[in-house]
Chains A and B, each alone.
Chain A
Amino acid sequence: MKHIHSGKVRDLYELDGGDILLVASDRVSVYDVSLPTPVPDKGALLTQLSAWWFDRLSHVVPNHVISTTDVPAEFAGRAVRCKPLQMIQVECIARGYLVGLGLREYRRDGAVSGVQLPSGLVEADRLPEPIFTPTTKISETGHDEFMTFGDVVNMVGKETADRLRDLTIEIYQAGAEHALKNGIIIADTKLEFGIDSDGVLTLGDEVLTSDSSRFWPADEWTPGRTQHAFDKQYVRDWSMTTGWDQTPPGPAMPPEVVEATRQRYVEVYERITGKKWDDREAV
């Protein structure tokens, strides 16, 4: 097993034979800083949630998952064995609500990533229909940049661009509809696609987790103000009480904050999958 890359919250390995191993850690990042205190089970919760979505969405698009159980024992439960893909250099983002940098763009241009929106929308409003707002990671500045759909067509060709857009919207809509029935708004999500060894367009990375999406509690949704993230908000709010200046190193979390945060991740998993976290099969 060859270690390829360590991130702030995940690690990447190449297994003998060429399969890829994505390992989620229990580390939590807030305001771009990884905190020193892990949240037990966070990596497993997000891995299992992503695996559940991959399975549920497998009729929409093939995915890169080979197994979540045939993994090295030390990573059991929080790792995914994946097919190696050649990745398309477009991050496919679907938005169902007006928030974040999209809101900033809308206030300036009345549009997000070239998609014109109705006037009069306020922060956190639900959009008339989900929109595709891709970014690219090939910027020479080292920062991802918003693209228009026309840019995507120019990069990958019209046929692939159409497919990326349609799949992204279909996956977001399916996920958002299911989550909303269970009290969670998925405001937006990021998907990554690649091409497998047979030339098939394939969904990679992770899907519809709270790391790759913005989750809000539906019963607290109030357009016109900032919404609170379902799981990370507790950590964010706590960190603001510590006097921390949001630069490294982050503050150590006390046990009660760790447990409360863990419970929020468990609640997201249980609401979406309909399964009890403590009842899962031992891995």
Chain B
Amino acid sequence: MEERQHYSSKHLIEDVVGLLKARGLEPQRDPALRWDRSIGASRLLRGLGIADLEDHQGALDPDSSINYNRRIHGD
């Protein structure tokens, strides 16, 4: 990954929602369009030369094993 600047797409989505509300709009979060939002935010960042990365504090999950077993194995 060449970009050295980074920002989280998750935070960018929240930022944009806040911005749009401040402009008088009412953003909707249709679950069926979640990938449009996530991938759109990632691509926007990359298009601006910024990598979609999360600081370790927010990204490292101490419960990852529990989540892994639930998510991958359903238990």
Contacts and interface: CB of A to CB of B under 8 A. Distances in A.
Q: Which of the listed residues B37, B54, B65 has the most CB atoms from chain A within 10 Å of its own CB?
A: B65
Given A7-B62, A199-B4, A144 B71 contact: yes
A10 B62 contact: yes
B68 A195 contact: no
A45 interface: no
A155 B38 contact: yes
Given A140-B13, A157-B1, A8 B62 contact: yes
Nearest to A236: B75
Contacts of A93: 72
Nearest to A145: B34
A144 B37 contact: no
Contacts of B1: 156-157, 159-160, 195, 199, 201
A188 B52 CA distance: 26
Chain A interface extent, by class: 35 or more
A195 B52 CA distance: 11
Interface string B1-24: 110101011100100000000000
Contact of A139 (B34, B65, B73): B34
Contacts of A85: 56
Most buried by B among A29, A136, A138, A144: A138
B55 interface: yes
Given A86-B54, A156-B1, A5 B62 contact: yes
Nearest to B42: A155
Main secondary structure on A side of the interface with B: mixed
A89 B52 contact: yes
B59 interface: yes
Contacts of B31: 140-141
| Chain B contact residues, majority secondary structure | helix
Given A86-B6, A137-B61, A138-B10, A190 B68 contact: yes
B64 A194 contact: no
A6 B72 CA distance: 23
Given A10-B62, A99-B73, A86 B9 contact: no
Contacts of A89: 8-10, 52-54, 59
Contact of A188 (B42, B46, B61, B72): B72
30 contacts: A7-B61, A8-B62, A11-B62, A20-B60, A32-B66, A32-B69, A32-B75, A86-B55, A88-B52, A89-B52, A89-B53, A101-B74, A135-B71, A137-B59, A139-B38, A140-B29, A141-B31, A144-B67, A151-B39, A154-B42, A154-B43, A155-B38, A155-B43, A156-B42, A188-B72, A192-B60, A192-B64, A194-B53, A194-B59, A214-B73
Interface of A: 4-12, 14, 20, 22, 29, 31-32, 34, 84-89, 93, 99-102, 104, 135-141, 143-145, 151, 154-157, 159-160, 188, 190, 192, 194-195, 199, 201, 204-206, 209, 211-212, 214
